Amino acid sequence: MRVDDKFLRDLESKVLAYRAKDKDSDRRKTYDEVFDRDTLMTLYDLMTNEVIDNLDFPIATGKEGNVFRATTHDRGFRAVKIYRMSNATFNNIQKYIAGDERFRNLGKNRRRTIHTWAQKEYRNLERMRSADISVPEPIVCTKNIIVMEFIGTDGTPAPHLREVEVAEPEILYSKLYGSLKKMFKEASLVHSDFSEYNVLMKGSEPVIIDVGQAVLKTHPMAGEFLCRDLSNLARFFRKQGLDLDEKEMLREILEDA
């Protein structure tokens, strides 16, 4: 495919504009790490193949990558998650891939590992959606980029659970605990990084995000990760006034699993 150099220059200019507007030095460094030449070429392919039409603006910065809102050709919205290729990211994700029978013989190649990590999140999303768990719908995964359903209203991103006032904590707890239970029993997965930072609130409905580190329940550390997820869930809802027993929560999930 012949590359449109003007398109790439325009895309690079937009990235520089994002960077210039952000006063946080760590986030500015993140932009430099995220948008290497290969990533720009992948975005170019997604745009020329009409998966997205335009990369609008950043909506989240995570430990492993950034999420941007994108516009489609029919003026809809999608979320574009771009994993950065830095060594810090590579070192952090190794423990979640090692021991996952879906990704054997990966080796130590950094680029291949990050691409596999993106595929892992995409497949986890597919698996959770099949189990009727509320997560974003995955659309396309290529190299270090995942395009998925945009969670929000009228183009405005949904807030994280940590940012909202919980009106009915018992109901919300039941939904989230039910999702973690279904994740384990029906999708055979453990989220492994569950917290109020990884839940979006679309109105009163929670949507679980950031599932790249989710592991199969056969993973050697699955039990430890599950206990940590439940501890974070209980901690948050105790602050909302609920009386929760983590041992009972764990027993109920493991029962007949």
Active site residue 243: no
Beta-bridge partners for 200: 160, 207
Q: Which of 5, 22, 193, 256 is catalytic?
A: 193
- The span from the first CA to the last CA of the chain, in angstroms, equals 49
Q: Which tokens go with 66?
A: 């950034």
Could you list the beta-strand ranges (E) of 85-208: 138-142, 145-149, 152-153, 156-157, 189-190, 199-202, 205-208
Please name the residue that has the structure tokens 């764990």: 250
Please report where in the chains the tokens 């210039």 appear, as a residue: 20
Kindly report the CA angle at 102 between 190 and 134, in degrees rounded to 5? Answer: 40
Catalytic residue flag (residue 193): yes
* Cα(179)–Cα(177) distance, integer angstroms: 5
Angle at 209 between CA 90 and CA 180, to 5 degrees: 105
Active-site entry in 210, 229, 245, 256:
210
Which residues lie below 8 Å from residue 243, measured CB to CB, with a gap of 6+?
none
CA distances from 211 to 67, 138, 192, 202 (A): 14, 11, 8, 18
**Active-site annotation, residues:** 193, 210
